[in-house]
Amino acid sequence: MSDDFTPRPDRFLEMVADGRVHLFDGGFGTELHYRGVSVTRCFDELNLSRPELVTRVHELFLEAGAEILETNTYGASRTKLAPFGFQDRVKEINRTAAVLARRVAGDHALVAGAMGPLGVRIEPFGPTAREEVGAFYKEQAGALISGGVDVLVLETFGNTNELIEAIRGTKEAGDLPIVAQMTIGHDLHSGFGTDPEHFAPRLEAEGVDVLGLNCSVGPQSMLQGIERIRPLTSLPLSAQPNSGLPREVEGRKIYVASPEYMGDYARRLAQAGVKFVGGCCGTGPEHIRRMAVSIRAIHPVPTSIDTVKKHGGQEPEVPEIPLADRSGLGRKLASGERIKTVEIVPPRGGDATEMLSQVSALEEAGVDAVNVPDGPRAQMKMGALATSLLIQERTGLEALVHYTCRDRNLLGMLSDLLGAHAIGLRNLLLITGDPPRMGPYPDSTGVFDVDSVGLTNLVSFLNHGMDPGGNPIGAPTSFVKGVGVNPGAADLDRELNRFFWKVDAGAEFAITQPVFDVAQLESFLEELVRRNLRIPVVSGIWPLVSLRNAEFLANEVPGIEVPESVLDRMRRASDKGGDHPVEEGIAIARETWEALGDDLQGIQVNAPFGKVHLALRVLEGLPKL
């Protein structure tokens, strides 16, 4: 492509300063869909394979009166292109899109490089580092700039932190004006629950040129959002609502707001102080035509920041309740006392009588807490929260609830955790969870909205009295935050890095996978000291019950290492028959703890196959406890 367009940022800045209201175009994606493009296609790749179609949509919006044309690149980041196999064509797709729009715009309109969210979870609630986020946006923005866009538009963001990293990455790509647009729901909060009083001042502090809202809601709710934002910032405002809410008509989503309705609200938005008006999903050329007529000769109301000092920035964090005051387990961890816990298996059915009977025996043996796994190995069991509540209500023991990311989305996790706190559960072991394909229902879906690092951050937010969007929730929760760690991980460096992130996220103790190799755990503990990862570590101990049990753990359970020396001992015991394998398994478990106890703050003994009496045999008379 031979076109060599030079960006014209001065022309956009003249628009900002000229005292008039200006018009963006409408919903590019829905316009492509209405012209026969399947929603399963990569719309951004059409810049290469169907340039005539992309060009035609630009022409229609220009003819309707749009003064700023957005490129067909909303999902053209490396992460959004990857599922279609186009991740290595970021530069080509974005540059081509910019050139197509510039050809249509000529001297009649400006071109805005459109960039949306990455579609991945970022820290603190996901594995994508903030530095990576910035790099992805720098790559996309650089390609758009090379194609000659005049301004860059970051739009439809529900996560303020992601938008901030996008702004910073975009600035590294070049010195063009930036329009930053959040998306809100009918409650006027972002997808992460952040209200305008929190996100508007934070975005203004990043030095953007225009601040606004787009997508998700129709013009009425967007007008309410603009009225909330206007007193909070001195920046020019933008608003690009959907043409109402979609309805399902013969299998297609149809946006029902009429051009007249959108035109009327374009006028109201301008009168409310919006400098740049446009449309998002469902807003076609005829809507834009009516909006162009409505905003002629309207001058935007000057903005004011009378209340920004009152609302600016996030609410101050509430300090966490001291660890010793959160639970009996927390008190022991805080004081450095060694703890002993036993992991039981929740019942498969709805009757917990037998399990509770065995837990009562643990109370008599002086166990500090009962570990309650959350569908281990993706098996169907009574839920960990319900099981834990039964244990705490029916016995004198505390529960240590294993809580996984597998089965619940972010909203479900928040609901669960707040409910768990309300009913008195305080001790959590935060783990990612075994994937459903490991269990008897392999076609069931795993959610994994966040991983264990993100979940630890989430609980830390709640302990500081905030939701994921940084909004206050009232009184903070008081969870004791434990995490898992695997000394026998195949990629130990990755495991240690993830453990560092968990500690950084607020983890207060860790429980290892069941340990059979003493030398391996000693080496791992030394590495933790070297890396200054100093939180209490509790060793998982599993009393083997048979050679078959040992072989299964060694060969079929990810993350557990059973050395050949242990397998040899179990083979010899098996040859003797009778109770020898069980006795040998208990002896190995006791020897493992005795060799490691000085370096650990506690022991978690598994009750294999629900046999709690075997766990008690291991604990009987153990030194260093």
The per-residue pLDDT for 249 is: 45
The per-residue pLDDT for 299 is: 66
The per-residue pLDDT for 12 is: 97
Spatial separation of the C-alpha atoms in residues 225 and 341, rounded to whole Å: 51
Residue 225 has a CB neighbour count (10 Å cut-off) of: 26
Tell me the mean pLDDT in the region 363-385.
87
The per-residue pLDDT for 306 is: 43
Instruction: Say which amino acid occupies 274.
Output: V
Packed helices 285-295 and 259-271: angle between N→C axes, nearest 10 degrees:
40
In degrees, rounded to 5, the angle at the alpha carbon of residue 530 between the alpha carbons of residues 528 and 535 is 35
Of 496, 411, 503, which is closest to residue 449 (Cα–Cα)? 411
CA atoms within 13 A of residue 537's CA, in its CB half-sphere: 27
**Looking at per-residue confidence, does 313 or 66 come out higher?**
66
Domain boundary among 253, 279, 311: 311
Same domain, 387 and 251: no
Cα-based distances in Å from 564 to 438, 517, 556, 570: 25, 10, 15, 10
Spatial separation of the C-alpha atoms in residues 341 and 346, rounded to whole Å: 15
Residue 292 has pLDDT above 70, yes or no: yes
Tell me the mean pLDDT in the region 422-433.
95
Same domain, 331 and 369: yes
Same domain, 299 and 373: no
pTM for the predicted model, two decimal places: 0.74
Same domain, 273 and 328: no
DSSP type of residue 85:
T
Spatial separation of the C-alpha atoms in residues 625 and 612, rounded to whole Å: 19
Cα-based distances in Å from 58 to 7, 106, 127: 18, 12, 37
For residue 3, tell me if it sits in a domain: no
Residue 507's pLDDT band, with cuts at 50, 70 and 90, is very high
Highest averaged pLDDT of the listed ranges 102-116, 316-330, 447-461:
102-116
Spatial separation of the C-alpha atoms in residues 117 and 80, rounded to whole Å: 9
Same domain, 237 and 332: no
* Number of domains into which the chain is organized: 2
For residue 317, tell me if it sits in a domain: no
Residue 126's pLDDT band, with cuts at 50, 70 and 90, is confident
Beta bridge partners, 485, equal: 512
Tell me the mean pLDDT in the region 88-116.
97
Same domain, 271 and 328: no
For residue 4, tell me if it sits in a domain: no
For residue 359, tell me if it sits in a domain: yes
Output 345-353 pairs: Cβ under 8 A, ≥24 positions apart. 345/373, 345/376, 345/381, 345/607, 345/609, 345/610, 346/372, 346/373, 346/381, 346/382, 346/383, 346/384, 346/387, 347/381, 347/382, 347/387, 348/380, 348/381, 348/382, 349/382, 350/382, 352/382, 352/387, 352/390
Same domain, 337 and 218: no
Which region among 106-115, 330-339, 555-564 has the lowest average model confidence (pLDDT)? Answer: 555-564
Residue 434 has pLDDT above 70, yes or no: yes
Residue 255's pLDDT band, with cuts at 50, 70 and 90, is low
Q: What percent of the chain has pLDDT over 70?
A: 94
Tracing tokens 């920046």 back to the chain, one arrives at 235
What is the domain-level CATH number for residue 584?
Answer: 3.20.20.220
Residue 301's pLDDT band, with cuts at 50, 70 and 90, is low
Runs of H (alpha helix) within 423-543: 452-463, 492-505, 518-530
For residue 392, tell me if it sits in a domain: yes
Q: Is 25 helix (H, G, I), strand (E, B) or coil?
A: coil
Same domain, 110 and 247: yes
Same domain, 300 and 337: no
Task: Tell me the two tokens of residue 131.
Answer: 């530095």
For residue 122, tell me if it sits in a domain: yes
| Residue 13 belongs to domain spanning | 9-311
Dihedral of alpha carbons 531, 535, 538, 540, sign: negative
Same domain, 531 and 421: yes
pLDDT tens per residue, range 22-57:
999 999 999 999 899 998 999 999 999 999 999 999
Spatial separation of the C-alpha atoms in residues 515 and 401, rounded to whole Å: 21
Domain boundary among 248, 279, 311: 311
Residue 408 has a CB neighbour count (10 Å cut-off) of: 20
Same domain, 376 and 290: no
Spatial separation of the C-alpha atoms in residues 186 and 537, rounded to whole Å: 46
The DSSP element (H or E) to which 107 belongs, if any, is none
What is the domain-level CATH number for residue 98?
Answer: 3.20.20.330
Chain-centre distance of CA 58, in angstroms?
35
Domain boundary among 276, 311, 346: 311
For residue 553, tell me if it sits in a domain: yes
Residue 136 has pLDDT above 60, yes or no: yes
For residue 318, tell me if it sits in a domain: no
124 preceded by a cis bond (ω within 30 of 0): yes
Same domain, 29 and 82: yes
Spatial separation of the C-alpha atoms in residues 240 and 209, rounded to whole Å: 16
The per-residue pLDDT for 246 is: 60
Residue 445's pLDDT band, with cuts at 50, 70 and 90, is confident
The per-residue pLDDT for 485 is: 95
Highest averaged pLDDT of the listed ranges 129-133, 142-146, 381-385, 616-620:
142-146
Tell me the mean pLDDT in the region 533-560.
90
